[in-house]
Amino acid sequence: MEITKKRMAAIGLIALVISALLTAISQVFYAKQVQQVPTFLFTGISFFLTAVYFSFFARKHKQENQWQGNIGQIVKLNIASVLTFMGFYFALKYVESAIVSALEMGIAPLFVLLLAVFAKESIPRVQWIIATGTLFACIFLIVAVLSGNSAVKMEVTFPVILSLVASVGCGIGAVFCTKYSKKLSEAGWTSSMILTHRYYGIILLSFVATYDNFFNYFSGNILWIIAVTVVGVMLPMYLLQLGIQHCSSLMVMMSLCFVPVFTFFFQLFDPRLSWSPISFIGILLLFILGVWSLLVEKRAVHVE
């Protein structure tokens, strides 16, 4: 029993890392493509296709009482998903991809600990140190953007400031996504069932935001949207859901430390961006803190 639990935890961790790698690749490509199309064109089409795709798998696991006592969790998961994904893809249009990822994952661990405090759970001192460090690194990256020292040279405008706020909101939304997804998993929902029903809010709001010019951009962008949907949304979301089922919330949040590092590496191939030592320092700091957190988590599991 103990061996099986450890094996599933290891599988969950591997799934999280692969999900981070695929997400990073898609982020860099999306950030370049979205400069010429409406911000939420991609989210509307992409998450609609994702929901339809996973609905075919969810039918095999349909349960008579699957909605009993879980409607509230689905509604909350949809709200959290809107905050996470629509805020994230909006931010990618105005701010360096690696920094958007870094701000999302950086704020999440501290927020997880704050929720734990409200739940009157005991928090080891080392986790507070790690979470505080990630918050410091996030502030460092925000200053880099506002001072014009990030990889994308830009003026400080309202959309840029709103994008930074949205990036932080992504991290908070991701925590709640993990929380409500885990509750549904504990209630017997499979990954496919959850992924089928968590995107209604994103699909609705995206189509409302782009209905007036949707068809003007549809035909010319559908091929890359489908490609990014498969590689950057469907597969990473499934792997992330697998990680959520078998890993703790803190491990899920801190494993995302790999996303900004991978993103920073891949965006070096984007000619629109320049080398930014400040971005690199902030992202590297987040990566070190993330790895430290995973080692602490592993040690804690081993002791138990």
Q: What's the pTM? A: 0.78
Cβ(286)–Cβ(215) below 8 Å: no
Mean pLDDT value across the chain: 80
Region 232-256 average pLDDT: 77
Spell out the long-range contacts of 120-128 with Cβ–Cβ below 8 A and sequence spacing 24 or more. Answer: 124/296, 124/300, 126/296, 127/250, 127/293, 127/296
**176-197 pLDDT tens trace:** 988 898 888 888 888 888 888 8
d(CA 90, CA 77): 19
62 — pLDDT class (breaks 50, 70, 90): low
Identify the CA nearest to 83 among candidates 20, 28, 165, 192: 165
**21-58 pLDDT tens trace:** 888 888 888 877 777 788 888 888 989 998 988 888 77
d(CA 114, CA 128): 10
Distant-in-sequence, close-in-space partners of 108: CB < 8 Å, separation ≥ 6: 171, 172, 174, 175, 253, 254, 256
Region 154-180 average pLDDT: 85
Residue 152: the pLDDT is 65
Cβ(267)–Cβ(204) below 8 Å: no
Residue 3: the pLDDT is 54
Residue 78: the pLDDT is 95
d(CA 27, CA 266): 9
**246-276 pLDDT tens trace:** 777 667 766 666 777 788 888 777 776 677 7
Distant-in-sequence, close-in-space partners of 224: CB < 8 Å, separation ≥ 6: 29, 33
pLDDT of residue 302 exceeding 70? no
